[in-house]
Amino acid sequence: MIIESLVTTLDVGGTLNCAPMGVEWGDDVIVIKPFADTATCRNLAATGVAVVNLTDDALLFAKAVAGHPDAVNPPTMAAARVTGRVLKAACTWREVEVTASEVPSPRARFTTRVVHRGSQREFLGFNRARHAVLEAAILATRTHLIPGAEIRAEFDRLRIIVEKTAGPDERMAMKLLEDYVTPRLMETPAR
C-alpha cells in the first residue's frame, strides 16, 4: 500500500530536505522510491537514514511541492534514533534506516527498516478538499511525465472540490499549487 508522506532527510552537512513522497508502507519495512536526481535520493544514499512524517496538513504538502520557504525550512525537532528531523506538523512518524538500495534512473529504491515510531497528535484525516489538494500536489510533481492537457483538466476538477469544501488553508494550498504548475505546463510540449 502506498501512503502519502513528507520524507525528511539531511545531507552530510546537516541541511534539511522535506519532500512529499508516496512510500510503500509496512509496519517494520518502508520502501522509499525517490527520483534519482533528487535531494532525497542523494541524502538517503549518503546518510542511510530518513524520517517518514505522516500529517494531515495539506498546506504543508503543497508548500513542499512548490519549494515554498515554509517547507524548505519547516519547524522540526530532533529525531530520537536517527540523525534526522521530525516535522512539528507530523501527527506520527517513523524513523528509518536503509537496509538495501538500488539507484537506477529514473527512480531509486531504498528499502528501510523502522527503528523508531513517534506520535505527537491525533491525525484528523482528510476532508474532500484536503484530499483534492493532496492529489493536486502529486500531479504537480508529475508535470514532466503527464501531458499538460491532462493535468489542466484534473486541476479544473480538483479546484471545484476545493471551492466547495475547503477552509482557508486548503484554498491557499490549491492556489499555491496552481501558481507552481502553470508555468511548468507552458514549458511542457504537448504529447
Place of cell 535531494: 39
Look at the block and give the residue holding cell 539507484.
103
Angle between helices 168-187 and 148-165 (to 10 degrees): 170
Q: Which residues contact 32 (CB under 8 A, 6 or more apart)?
A: 7, 21, 23, 40, 44, 50, 52, 96, 109, 110, 112
Per-residue pLDDT of the chain in tens (191 residues, 90 and over written 9): 999 999 999 999 999 999 999 999 999 999 999 999 999 999 999 999 999 999 999 999 999 999 999 888 999 999 999 999 999 999 999 999 999 999 988 999 999 999 999 999 999 877 899 999 999 999 999 999 999 999 999 999 999 999 999 999 999 999 999 999 999 988 655 54
